[in-house]
Structure 1
Amino acid sequence: MYRIFITADVAKEAKEILEKEFIVDIQPNMEEDELCKVIADYDAIITRSQTRVTKKVIDAAVNLKVIGRAGVGIDGIDIPEATKKGITVVNTPESNTIAACEHTIALMLSMTRHIPQAHQSIMEGRWDRKSFTGIQLLNKTVGIIGVGRVGSNVAKRLQAFNMKTIGYDPYIPLERGQQLGVELTDLDTLLRESDYITLHTPLTDETRGMIDKEAIAKMKDGVRIVNASRGAVVDIEALAEALKNGKVAGAGIDVWPHEPLKPEENPFLGLTNVALTPHLGASTKEAQAGVATDVAIGVAQALHGEPVATAVNASPITKATLNVIQPYFDLCERMGNIGIDLAGGRISGVNVEYTGELAETETAPLTTAVLKGLLAPVLQQTVNFVNARGIAEERHMEVREVKARKGHYFTNTISLTIDTDKGTHRITGSLFDRKEAKIVSLDHFRVDFEPKGCIIIAPHEDKPGMIGQVAGVLGAAGININGMQVGASNDKGINVMAVAVDKDIPTAVLPSLMNIEGIKDVKVIHCEH
């Protein structure tokens, strides 16, 4: 009988489900050395953020088959090491959606009607109605940054208050916004037009500090801000200053750049126009029960060898199929990486065409690899071979597979076509001798480069000196060129330059490249994010 070790204060539902068929032991919040001494006896472990499952722990866990995370974040789990050891990692990404949504509404109402301050006034024996005059939500405009699971639920509830809902989310199609009753806009428009702004975005390089001094300056005077997503999305020092000078009328904050929040790190101390909570977004009985139930079911499924919808690092494929498609997985994922850099708009359709030997086998896992490569760079949530299709469906991306016996130029090819609101892009890749991956066409250009590292794609006029000028700009910026190749297109007089470089391109270099006479466009694509 399998043994499961719970190292977290998880709701009783987890133990009740698992004890029906497994041996379950519980000892919350163990330190690494303590855990290493006992973990060898267990087939599965369930943790929360307090317990880290490090390489040292995994090395000691000679029988471990499953790591269950009772929550979304998997920062404390060494995923690569677990994957190397064949250990399935399961988390619970959806269980707290409604709890986070409702807490957002609670913060919005609390700081709008000054509820924390009014409560404190009453507790101090005062009756001071005039100091706590609020405003109504009716007919106000709320800007939702991140219209995913939580953001879309917030929109639905605020529409019941007769608020106008606008949103910024570059990774969902306009049709999805229309279905939700959310008018999708660019970020500057949202900042300029919103009476309220609520954030529901993952923490990425793009979103870190997105609400800073410059962003606040673009907002309406008297705007109100709620953040129940990720602490580092907001520059809290800049927000505190705006609350003091009146640019921002109120704020509701649940998440912090560093947790637990220390008094000396809290710039809101003494302010009377804020509602602050210690990361309570998921802290409801229902959410905690949901997390416990979901992680227990996922761990049980994994121990039974069944597919797990919330597995972070596993996807079942038959051995016969794997023998054919395994060499193509990396190519497919990197084609997805290239696709998201080329897209430049909201993706509505993804078409993957297979030719040659791939037309004769099951290619769904390869399409999933394409989606994983396409979605993972822009989402904070883990995107894997199990959930990539579901995430694409949530974002209303139409995913199609086409199989043909012959490709245009090569025997075995994979062609990825991405439809966006700003146009269509097509990438074709192939394997040579079933091991050497190459991108052989990009949009209407013939190319020949390995999908590795950072590549500059520059359509240009077919005339002397173009290569030298590009090399000169890159050299002056201290960027080493690993390889360069020029391909022709169907447009007479226009070629494309593919330049492989040894590091990412600083934003400041791009204008210099664009200013070269004859350069039509410059795109930087990352073949591995």
Structure 2
Amino acid sequence: MARSVLITDSLHSIAYDLLSESGIKCVDGSSWSRDEILDRCSTFEGWIIRSGTSIGEEYLDRATSLKVIGRAGVGVDNVDLKAATKRGVLVLNAPAGNTISTAEHTMAMLLGLARRIGPASASLKEGRWERKLFTGSELFGKTIGIIGIGKIGRTVAERCLAFGMTVVGFDPVLTQEAAERIGIELTDLETLYERADFVSVHTPLIPATKDLLNRETLAKCKKGVGVINCARGGIINEEALLVGLESGHIGGAAMDVYTSEPPSHNLAALLGHDRFLGTPHIAASTDEAQEKVARQVTEQVIRALRNEPVLTAVNTMAIRLAAQPEVRPYVVLADKLGLAARQLFPGKVERLVVRCHGDVPRKYKDVLQVIALKGFLSSSWGQPVNLINAQVVADEAGLVRDVETFRPESSFSNLVELHLEGADTSFSITGTMFSEQDVRITSVDGYEMELKAEGHLLLYRNQDRPGMLARVGQALADEGINIGSLALGRKVPGTEALTAISVDQPLTREILDKVSHIEGVRHVCMLEFMP
């Protein structure tokens, strides 16, 4: 059955072209009502939206085939990330496509405020010639405070610096060194409010940024400050903004986004204020930006549906980092170790520890923990488990997780070990990579051996004495089972050994029972690695 993607907002035609070229059916649902979407969304594996569609629990409950949501743009506050993550639905965005357009629109708003272009144009259209009323100010020498210095914030900063402005900024993540490289003076919010002639916000809308600029914080700003929001509606409290404009404390405000869109009638006084400059959420509405975001999000959705690495995942860091070439071989390794551990550990697991030995595994320890967890749970849980919801599923199961790092102590420079603990027993399995296609298990529960983690493996413990391998080999030969390769491991000669035999096909329960009844053989099991 062909994969299919639903598009419920207006999107550049490049999205439809790319999907069709990839053999993916695309359906335009941009004119569908809420009820139509609910009735018809169950069969789609992908869903691409802009800001007009909000995907929450109601839609996600009906979209039972959904694997990936693509947001053509940056902000994803119109997607219930928690609900999507719990269901194992990947959420992607297109963070770079509209950067230039949004930054340029911010600069247009900044210039519009400084030179009072909006009211001057309106006055001229009404037949008046009132030059003295619209005396503005230069940007040169002024200070702009930028709140949120991500891609768009940085791009705005670069353009403001080119105008000869001083740029002060606040960002909870950006380091002082990185800010200095851009030319931004990093400061706290209180200082930013005190110094800035203009304040421009470029943050996502999250609980910490909702109403960030309110009556209290706006009162801390310079008298006559210009305020700009081309990010997300709700970061600036619109009621407080109107009060500031009417009192004269705020010299001007420019907004492209609003708490509700289209704006409600309650905003009529703000929109009509002569020192307010507004546009209808068009910061990213350029031909170039629309094509860029549509192309970027569609390409990522296609990659996700093909189970290929993606770079713009929003609801899981593991997916983004797992796409890095350096770690990809160890992603394969950690996944196979998790899969093997679940099959080889018979009891209930209470604690799972990923131990990373060597530079590369240690660098990506948190990613490898999620990968191993996904491999472990995917063969034992009653619901689909992937990199997105693995930690949620583990939390619900009460599974304690940990990650430890070590310097390499064996002949292998980079190793990943998965250690499981139950109520009264424990188990560990260790592996390394020779290449992305060559995963090697190097130790099983303390037995050192080297075997490829692929195909069908018969594992058993046996007394370490002559003739044991011959007896098992004969039992398999009697059943027409061909042996591909084998590996042996033992701790102390003459006690107990662990044997792993690669066979060409899965073994039936009857054959496993036959092997287990050979004198000196115990703990017989099959280890299956899916291709």
Of 296, 303, 306, 1:304 maps to 306
Q: Considering only CA atoms, is the larger Rg found in Structure 1 or Structure 2?
A: 2
Aligned CA distance change for structure 1 residues 45 and 157 (closer, same or farther; 3 Å): same
| Structure 1 position 76, deviation (Å) | 4.2
| 1:322 aligned onto 2:335 | yes
Question: Contact between 2:354 and 2:419, CA under 8 Å: does it hold in 1?
Answer: no
Letter in 1 for 2:168: I
Of 265, 268, 273, 2:267 maps to 265
Q: Which position in structure 1 is the counterpart of 2:380?
A: none
In structure 2, how many angstroms separate the alpha carbons of the residues matched to 1:264 and 1:55? 29
Q: Which position in structure 2 is the counterpart of 1:332?
A: none
In structure 2, how many angstroms separate the alpha carbons of the residues matched to 1:244 and 1:59? 46
In structure 1, how many angstroms separate the alpha carbons of the residues matched to 2:231 and 2:99? 11
Question: Contact between 1:95 and 1:294, CA under 8 Å: does it hold in 2?
Answer: yes
Task: Please give the secondary structure, in 2, of the residue aligned with 1:176.
Answer: helix
| Structure 1 position 364, deviation (Å) | 5.2
Question: Contact between 1:254 and 1:277, CA under 8 Å: does it hold in 2?
Answer: yes
| Structure 1 position 324, deviation (Å) | 4.9
Question: Contact between 1:321 and 1:362, CA under 8 Å: does it hold in 2?
Answer: no
| Structure 1 position 369, deviation (Å) | 8.1
Question: Contact between 2:254 and 2:277, CA under 8 Å: does it hold in 1?
Answer: yes
Of 287, 291, 294, 1:292 maps to 294
In structure 1, how many angstroms separate the alpha carbons of the residues matched to 2:164 and 2:27? 50
Q: Which position in structure 2 is the counterpart of 1:241?
A: 243
Q: Which position in structure 1 is the counterpart of 2:17?
A: 16
In structure 1, how many angstroms separate the alpha carbons of the residues matched to 2:288 and 2:118? 24
- 1:458-491 deviations in Å (ceiling 9; x for gaps): xxxxxxxxxxxxxxxxxxxxxxxxxxxxxxxxxx
| Structure 1 position 45, deviation (Å) | 2.6
Q: Which position in structure 2 is the counterpart of 1:333?
A: none
Q: Which position in structure 2 is the counterpart of 1:409?
A: none
Task: Please give the secondary structure, in 2, of the residue aligned with 1:226.
Answer: strand
Aligned CA distance change for structure 1 residues 245 and 175 (closer, same or farther; 3 Å): same
In structure 2, how many angstroms separate the alpha carbons of the residues matched to 1:364 and 1:291? 31
| Structure 1 position 86, deviation (Å) | 4.1
Superposition TM-score, scaled by structure 1 size: 0.61
Superposition TM-score, scaled by structure 2 size: 0.61
Question: Contact between 1:196 and 1:225, CA under 8 Å: does it hold in 2?
Answer: yes
Of 189, 192, 198, 2:191 maps to 189
Of 398, 402, 407, 1:404 maps to 407
| Structure 1 position 54, deviation (Å) | 4.4
Report percent identity of matched pairs.
36
C-alpha RMSD over aligned residues? 3.6
Q: Which position in structure 1 is the counterpart of 2:366?
A: 367
Of 130, 150, 153, 2:152 maps to 150
Letter in 2 for 1:367: D
Q: How many corresponding residue pairs? A: 364
In structure 2, how many angstroms separate the alpha carbons of the residues matched to 1:78 and 1:223? 35
In structure 1, how many angstroms separate the alpha carbons of the residues matched to 2:119 and 2:286? 23
- 1:236-270 deviations in Å (ceiling 9; x for gaps): 22222222222221111222222221122344244
Of 37, 44, 47, 1:45 maps to 47
Long gaps (5+) in structure 2: 323-327, 340-352, 371-385, 389-403, 410-415, 425-531
Task: Please give the secondary structure, in 2, of the residue aligned with 1:116.
Answer: helix
Long gaps (5+) in structure 1: 327-354, 372-383, 387-400, 407-412, 415-429, 437-529
Task: Please give the secondary structure, in 2, of the residue aligned with 1:232.
Answer: coil
Question: Contact between 1:165 and 1:182, CA under 8 Å: does it hold in 2?
Answer: yes
Letter in 2 for 1:366: K
| Structure 1 position 83, deviation (Å) | 4.2
In structure 1, how many angstroms separate the alpha carbons of the residues matched to 2:208 and 2:220? 18
Task: Please give the secondary structure, in 1, of the residue aligned with 2:234.
Answer: helix
How does 1:349-360 map onto structure 2 within 5 Å? Answer: 357-359=355-357
| Structure 1 position 286, deviation (Å) | 1.4
Question: Contact between 1:369 and 1:385, CA under 8 Å: does it hold in 2?
Answer: no
In structure 2, how many angstroms separate the alpha carbons of the residues matched to 1:60 and 1:232? 29
Aligned CA distance change for structure 1 residues 6 and 319 (closer, same or farther; 3 Å): same
| Structure 1 position 434, deviation (Å) | 7.2
Task: Please give the secondary structure, in 2, of the residue aligned with 1:233.
Answer: coil
Q: Which position in structure 2 is the counterpart of 1:116?
A: 118
Q: Which position in structure 2 is the counterpart of 1:433?
A: 421
